[in-house]
Amino acid sequence: MRPGECVCLALCVWCAVAGSAAVAQDKSDARDGAEDAFVSLLVNGLILESDAQFHLGDYRKTTRAALSASALDPSYIDGYDSSAWLIWSMGYDANAVKVLKCGIEANPGSAYLRHALGTHYLTTKRHRQAMPWFSQAIAIEPSVMSYMNLGHCYKALHQPRMAVRMYREALRLDPDNGTVKANLEWMHQRMGVMGEGFTQQAGYLSPLRYYQLRLRTETGHLPSPAEARLAIARAQSKAPLYLTTRQKHLAEDATRPPMTGPPGGMPGPMMGPAGRLQTTSAPDQSADLHLVVQR
């Protein structure tokens, strides 16, 4: 059934039920039933219209139909969420925020819309504004995504302890969630928690601490700060030599004749004697690698 047919059918039902309501004993109940049936059919027609316009690529009509459906039936929260995303994608960020806040006002107990508004702020890198909405969503209905996104906010604001706490809460709700485990492991590495013998640091790794852990991984023992400083000095002394070698390779690439291939600039395979396929190898970068890994 087409969206326009749904609206016409809703009008017919309204007229039929309203006419029968005139002879009913309780006219108010009949009228209320007719209104509910009319609104339900109209909302379904608007939802179908919104979906049809979305696939046609007319996002303005899509949001107009979806928000009209949500205005008639505030419990249709997907209308607020999807419309806000489309409005933001068209460059109207403030209007997108207003739509989500209207949805929250119409649905005070919705954790979904609070999470959606927090996600909107997180996506646009407004982490401090996102945090209260994730916290409100968690207070209403704790979820893995709300805890994890709140952890992302703390991580972006350089509060690693709180970020780890949020990731652990998410992992408590879903112990097998690989995304949460990856984020928690990354935070542990940045904080210096490389094993049971290490304690959590207040902030991210300093260069000195990084080289201490790196040398411990390579040699099997934790070096002293003096040894780590020596490793840093050696690495810095090799940087000019590395740049000089890299510049030499770039100069050689610039003087090398261009490869012939198919149109579009993509080099293709070259045919050798007897029609055998030959491939070209990349320039040897072993010298660069040697300068990076040698001690």
Q: How far is CA 134 from CA 33, 80, 116, 128, 169, in A?
A: 39, 17, 9, 11, 13
**pTM above the 0.85 mark?**
no
CA diameter of the chain: 99
Confidence of residue 73 (pLDDT cuts 50, 70, 90): very high
- Residue 147 pLDDT greater than 90, yes or no: yes
Q: In this structure, which amino acid lies at residue 250?
A: L
Tens of pLDDT, residues 205-228: 566 666 676 677 667 777 787 877
| Rg, the chain, Cα only | 31
Cα gap 104→112, rounded to integer Å: 9
Tokens 């112990």 — which residue? Answer: 175
Which residue from 178, 106, 166 is spatially nearest to 142, judged by alpha carbons? Answer: 166
pLDDT tens-place string over residues 193-207: 443 333 334 344 566
